[in-house]
Structure 1
Amino acid sequence: MKLGLQLGYWGAAPPANAPELVAAAEECGFDAVFTAEAWGSDAFTPLAWWGSATRRVRLGTSVVQMSARTPAACAMHALTLDHLSGGRFVLGLGVSGPQVVEGWYGQPFAKPLARTREYVSVLRQVLAREAPVVNDGPHYPLPYQGPGALGLGKPLRPITHPLRADLPIWLGAEGPKNVSLAAEIADGWLAIYYAPRLAGMYDEWLDEGLAKAGRKREDFEVAATCQVVVTDDPVAVRGFLKPFVALYIGGMGAPGMNFHAEVFTRMGYGEVVADVGKLYQAGRKDEAAQVVPDELVREISIVGNAEEVRAEVARWEAAGVTQLLVGCRDTDSIKAVAEACQ
């Protein structure tokens, strides 16, 4: 099982100890370091800044939001970071949700699957650099010929030669169609709130996409965000995690269109989702966290002593996960997780 350090996105200020965490992850044998973005800090800049001190780990985004940049602009970021890191960059993408896409970026959210397919197609063209980049699709037309166009747009190839045409592209996806699309057009799936119990369901989605592309499962990565904590007090740790779960169920999506909440509903926690959503929307966040059951947290995290963690990691690996993206707050936690997963 490979390990990735998930640094996430910033809160009110940058994390003070990120350089130490990145250094510890590389020293302890982690495979990769990932950054994210929401509606504050971006993902590329911290990755370049902190990643400049690394020599071995892969550097990835988990995830950058597609509506924040045109596909050509995103490809420029990717090929630049891939050169600077010596071919260690992994581009993780996600569609986000309508509240962020329409409320923050001022872009339409409709047809996310079609937009994703077009976006990745343009990225692949830029990275291949075989011909000037063109796209006839309605979402990212190149050259642009819509309202306000001067008609002078010219298809272009990137001036800079990409280091790798096969730079890995991973997609953050939660629903069956999105996961299947990731297996069809991407090189990996960034899974959030993965549950090994449902591996058979995920495999059906993945196999459908892989079959369309004529690809094999061994050529595809499944990176699951998972809190891995080595502790002798698992009850307390799970209690600490519940407010974050409640946030994603009740506060990280629009009522009636919350993709995170749908994940837990598919897991069989529909009543919990409804109760947490009502409490969260009413501003009763502490009560919402208390509604989250221990069993739900147990399914999506790995918490226990070193022996228990090691056994659980093996179970997740058997379920098809190739990498765990873990969020560690200090270097001791990184060392403990690395030792338990060896």
Structure 2
Amino acid sequence: MKASVGLNRYAIEDWEEATEFALGAEKLGVDSLWSAEAWAHDGATPLAYLIAKTSTLKFGSGIFQVGTRTPSLVAMTAMTLDSMSGGRFILGLGTSGPQVIEGWHGIPFRKPVTHTREIIDICRRIFNGETLAYDGEFWGLPLSTERGGTGLGKALRSGAPVCPELPIYVASLGPKNLFMTGAFADGWLGTSFLPEAAETFLGPMREGAESVGRTLESVDIAVGGTVRFTEDIEQAAEALKPSMAFQIGAMGSKTQNFYADAYRRQGWADEVSKIQ
């Protein structure tokens, strides 16, 4: 088992402190550090800053939000960070949700699993140095006249060094997205996860992996959690309630909240209803 840590998921107010945090993690032998993006700092720039300060620590985007960047820009950013770090970057993708994607970015939130799958496919082609020609539901490259283009687009190949081994992880919660993760991703970024109900997540991923001739063991499982050092367990649990209530009650609506649904599937439906 490897240990990883995360930066503040909402906003980094002290960059000196963030640097000390990364250097301390590296000194302790932590495997990787992850940077999130919601509606404050973007997920890539902090990683570039900290990559320049470190030498062995891996860095991951946890996550780049699907739909906020073109697939080619996702690939370009990932390849740049991978080159800057000497191969220490992990590309993490996630769908986010309509409240952020439509509320903050003004982009329609639809068919997130299909959208994620297409971005993975396009990124892998770019990482492999292929000339990019793609015809999907969301993305057509080059953009054809049928899709509203001028017809002048050219099929291009990245000028950056190829990086076919650059890993792609997916943060998925729902059964369909978990299935897709098992079939196509190198790793899973787990959240809203309780070990007692692990099969709620691992089952669909196992099915996805087996559908393409893989095993679940081929998917790196990276599950996050909050760590507190205390002798007062009840006080520690009490301190977690506001953030969990925000996730379950505010990171979505009553009709669509992926976090709340994940807890329901794990057997906490009554508690979720009370929070919402």
After TM superposition, list the pairs within 5 Å mapping 1:38-187 onto structure 2: 38-129=38-129, 131-145=130-144, 146=146, 148-162=148-162, 164-187=163-186
Q: CA deviation at 1:241?
A: 0.7
Query: What CA distance in whole angstroms lies between the structure 2 residues aligned with 1:16 and 1:244?
Result: 25
Q: CA deviation at 1:97?
A: 0.4
AA aligned opposite 1:92: G
Q: Which runs of 5+ in 2 are unaligned?
A: none
| Equivalent in the alignment of 2:259 | 260
Q: Which runs of 5+ in 1 are unaligned?
A: 278-342
SS in 2 for 1:67: coil
SS in 2 for 1:10: coil
Query: What CA distance in whole angstroms lies between the structure 2 residues aligned with 1:187 and 1:174?
Result: 16
The Cα offsets for residues 297-340 of structure 1, whole Å up to 9 and x where unpaired, read as xxxxxxxxxxxxxxxxxxxxxxxxxxxxxxxxxxxxxxxxxxxx
Contact 1:9 1:43 in 2 (8 A): no
Query: What CA distance in whole angstroms lies between the structure 1 residues aligned with 2:209 and 2:238?
Result: 38
After TM superposition, list the pairs within 5 Å mapping 1:299-338 onto structure 2: none
AA aligned opposite 2:242: P
Q: CA RMSD in A?
A: 1.5
Which has the greater radius of gyration? 1
Contact 1:37 1:43 in 2 (8 A): yes
Q: CA deviation at 1:77?
A: 0.3
After TM superposition, list the pairs within 5 Å mapping 1:1-40 onto structure 2: 1-11=1-11, 13=13, 17-40=17-40
- Count how many residue pairs are aligned between Structure 1 and Structure 2: 275
| Equivalent in the alignment of 2:274 | 275
SS in 2 for 1:260: helix
TM-score by length of 2: 0.95
Query: What CA distance in whole angstroms lies between the structure 2 residues aligned with 1:199 and 1:12?
Result: 32
Query: What CA distance in whole angstroms lies between the structure 2 residues aligned with 1:181 and 1:228?
Result: 29
Q: CA deviation at 1:51?
A: 2.1
| Equivalent in the alignment of 1:232 | 231
Confirm or deny that 1:193 pairs with 2:181: no
Contact 2:200 2:265 in 1 (8 A): no
Query: What CA distance in whole angstroms lies between the structure 2 residues aligned with 1:61 and 1:174?
Result: 17
Q: CA deviation at 1:165?
A: 0.6
SS in 2 for 1:17: helix
Contact 1:98 1:254 in 2 (8 A): no
Query: What CA distance in whole angstroms lies between the structure 1 residues aligned with 2:148 and 2:215?
Result: 45
The Cα offsets for residues 223-272 of structure 1, whole Å up to 9 and x where unpaired, read as 11111223212211111111000000111112310001111111222122
Go from structure 1 to structure 2 and tell me whether the alpha carbon gap of 1:274 and 1:201 turns closer, same or farther (over 3 Å shift).
closer
Q: CA deviation at 1:9?
A: 2.6
| Equivalent in the alignment of 2:219 | 220
Contact 2:200 2:266 in 1 (8 A): no
Query: What CA distance in whole angstroms lies between the structure 2 residues aligned with 1:273 and 1:217?
Result: 29
- Which stretch has the larger CA shift, 198-207 or 135-144? 198-207
TM-score by length of 1: 0.77
Query: What CA distance in whole angstroms lies between the structure 2 residues aligned with 1:212 and 1:148?
Result: 35
Query: What CA distance in whole angstroms lies between the structure 2 residues aligned with 1:78 and 1:14?
Result: 25
SS in 2 for 1:91: strand
Go from structure 1 to structure 2 and tell me whether the alpha carbon gap of 1:12 and 1:29 turns closer, same or farther (over 3 Å shift).
closer
Moved over 3 A (4+): 10-16
SS in 2 for 1:68: coil
Q: State, as a whole percentage, how many aligned pairs show the same letter.
A: 38
SS in 2 for 1:223: strand
SS in 1 for 2:102: helix
Greater fraction of residues in helix: 1
